[in-house]
Amino acid sequence: WTEVADVNLAREAAAGTGSSNTNALMSAGETATPTRIANTESWNGTSWTELNDLNVARSVIGGSGSNSATIAMGGYSNPAAAYVASSEEWTANAPVGAWSTGTSMNTGKDRTAGAGIYTAALSFGGGTSTTPSATAINELWNGSTWTETTDMNSAKNKHAGFGLSTAAIACGGEISGSKSGATETWNGSSWSEGNDMNTVREQHAAASGIT
């Protein structure tokens, strides 16, 4: 690991998307105040550039895609504390790109994990207004609408996710109030238990990519 240029605004609980160390997007999050924010920054391999904000300020959100085509999903809103169901779509049209509000998920949730691309993505797990500790809900995005599909085997939040809408992994997180190393794999229609991580953890990040 090599220390590189800092982001313009320090934050936590942001979403990160992108395909390489020269192509990434960071959106939303929470500052030390604490205040939930809508700020978006793009990484070009050398520095971070502030771009257009999300339409809804939020933290602990899910995201998937690249720095030129991303979908941000769910989260916890500001200033009114609420579980967010809305999703937003980022397209990097000249000169700097913009967010547009897309169809909302069927269930508002925060601390959800995402996998996939701009037109085909998953949002799995997280916390909801009725199950704030964790849920197993899994929703599929087809580019225009969200459809609830097969749930994960275990309700969890604060986990990491990566992969595609047809082949994804959910790993770590919190299950029943305890940090976990549990891993589940998605084959496009169902979740299967996989080998656990070597170290239990929660609120960690996963790099985008195929499984």
**23 phi and psi angles, rounded to 5 deg:** -150, 95
Q: Is it the case that residue 20 has pLDDT exceeding 90?
A: no
Residue with tokens 């934050």: 11
Q: What are the pLDDT digits (tens) for 163-207?
A: 999 999 999 999 999 999 999 999 999 999 999 999 999 999 877
Q: Would you state the pLDDT for residue 208?
A: 61
Residue 43: which of 27, 29, 28, 24 has the closest Cα? 24
Residue 127: which of 199, 184, 203 has the closest Cα? 203
pLDDT band at 147 (very low <50, low <70, confident <90, very high): very high
Dist. CA 36–CA 28, nearest whole Å: 7
Residue with tokens 């020269």: 22
Dist. CA 138–CA 150, nearest whole Å: 6
Tokens for 125? 């797990």
Q: Would you state the pLDDT for residue 95?
A: 53
Q: What are the pLDDT digits (tens) for 60-97?
A: 999 998 888 899 999 998 666 689 999 999 988 645 67
Q: Would you state the pLDDT for residue 97?
A: 79
C-beta atoms surrounding 37 within 10 Å: 22
The answer, as to whether pTM is greater than 0.75, is yes
Residue 44: which of 100, 119, 115, 96 has the closest Cα? 96
Task: Average the pLDDT over 101-129 and give the result.
Answer: 94
Radius of gyration of the chain (CA): 16
- Find residue 184's DSSP bridge partners: 170, 193
Helix, strand, coil shares of the chain, percent, nearest 5, are 0, 45, 55
Tokens for 200? 């239990």
Residue with tokens 């509000």: 101
Q: Which amino acid is at 69?
A: A
Alpha carbon 105 to chain centroid, angstroms: 13
**Residue 33 burial (C-beta neighbours within 10 Å; 0-12, 13-18, 19+):** exposed
Residue 159: which of 133, 139, 140 has the closest Cα? 133
Q: Are 37 and 26 in contact (CB under 8 A)?
A: no
